[in-house]
Amino acid sequence: MARQTRPPIIAVMGHIDHGKSSLLDYIRKANIVAGEAGGITQHVAAYIALHNDRAVTFLDTPGHEAFKTLRTRGAAAADIAILVVAADEGVMPQTLDALAAIKEAGIPFIVAITKIDKNNADIDHTKNSLLEHEIFIEGMGGDIPYALVSSKTGEGIPGLLDLVLLASDLAEVTADPSLPATGFVLESTQDPKRGASATLIVKDGTLTLEGFVVAGDAYAPIRFIEDFRGKRIEQAGPSEPARISGFSKLPAAGSLFSIAQTKKEAEARAQTNAKELAVGPERSAAVEGIVELPLVVKADVAGSVDAIEHELAKITHERASIRIVSSGVGSISENDVKLAHASGAIIIAFNVGTDAIARELAERDAITIETFSIIYELSAKVVELLAQRVPKVASEQELGRARILKLFSSGAKKQVLGARHTSGILTVGNRVKILRGEIEVARGSIKNLQQARADVKEIKTEGDFGTEIEAREHAAPGDDLVAFTIIES
């Protein structure tokens, strides 16, 4: 069969909270926002929408910076991107990250200026912001199409979809439905009942109820196919998302998939791919002299694990480090708790629960399990946990300094001195050290201070004064008397 036009695959990208999920929500008339923690999309997902009787597949790519890897995968799997920029904020750091991913993927894009219904929307400012960052839209010195949209009222969205279809026609995206399916793994999850499952995007050919899917070093028999709504279907054609369960292991998000006719062929191809695949993320080894925070990371989907590891890699401390002992997908198991106990790790759980046996074991062995549904909170908590592991380091902070002019009297432990204030504040009770040049002669404390023959609590102005200090070694004229305190950090 000759190649024919297929529906475009669209990646919706941009800065966090700039309205990507709301835009898709309006387009497909299904409320996905309510089910997301904090309204933030934290998994790549795929949806099909119709416009002018033509199908369009949308990839909802996360906007959080930590999901940069996933976002890049989403762009690479897409034909066209929509770069979402909010009219009340303009270009933001993650807008530029998304733009870099689009350029790396080498695909055309359309700018959607969202939130135009807001009182503080400033469209001119947003356009200038785009221009300042060399995003040259139509009418502003460039040829990048754009649309002004409101996900609240729906204003401008039909025009945006018109631009999507026009860009698709210009890009001439095609496929041959008669071929065996090939495409990308968009996301993978560990389903308690179905085992390792994956959402696939078919880029070419047709996925049918025959043979095996091979994705990287994983494979699965095609026993049933589900569409993006979870309904079972007989086949998935070009540009359609499809859910397959029963993989031999979790396929990596972003990996290519193809079809094998037999299990033997699937196993052989997976083994070949395994040899070619790079070894997974390196676990940071313990460094001598640096305390470490061991973590066991569990998350609901493979993409979340990638994102969490990316986020944790940004957390640094000069006297401590994070070591990921283990990471994986699915609920916290007995093995996870045993591993945490053996390594002294804390278990970090993202959008997953804990098995009953594992919970009892964790309580018995006093294993800490921290659960999260928002990555900001996870990151903040790990920063806190890391700080708690760091041993306190004592350091001296200078409070005041004086030059010793005369030794009036001295005993076994005490001596009376005449001195001249040079800096800071010297206070009765302060700890002091006597410096002869750069050499420390003795340490002690201030027992008394006198200025103009009157007792005072502190010396903080220039001039001469008398002091009684307690120190084992005697001071001499020309020495420095330094008041200090010990601080821990």
pLDDT of residue 67: 54
Report whether pLDDT(35) > 50.
Answer: no
pLDDT of residue 286: 44
CA distances from 489 to 381, 387, 396 (A): 19, 10, 11
Report whether pLDDT(11) > 70.
Answer: yes
H or E element at residue 436: strand 431-436
Domains of the chain: 4-173 (3.40.50.300), 182-276 (2.40.30.10), 291-389 (3.40.50.10050), 394-488 (2.40.30.10)
Confidence of residue 1 (pLDDT cuts 50, 70, 90): low
The C-alpha torsion from 85 through 87 and 91 to 94, rounded to 10°, is: -50
| pTM, rounded to two decimals | 0.63
pLDDT of residue 281: 41
- Lowest mean per-residue pLDDT among 33-37, 58-62, 270-274: 33-37
Confidence of residue 184 (pLDDT cuts 50, 70, 90): confident
378 by DSSP, 3-state: which? helix
pLDDT of residue 169: 93
Is residue 285 within 8 Å of 322, Cβ to Cβ?
Answer: no
pLDDT of residue 101: 82
Task: Give me the count of residues in the chain.
Answer: 489
- Residues 442 and 428: their CA atoms lie apart, in Å, by 18
pLDDT of residue 449: 96
Provide the β-strand partners of residue 137. Answer: 144
Backbone dihedral angles phi then psi of residue 456, each to the nearest 5 degrees: -135, 160
Report whether pLDDT(183) > 50.
Answer: yes
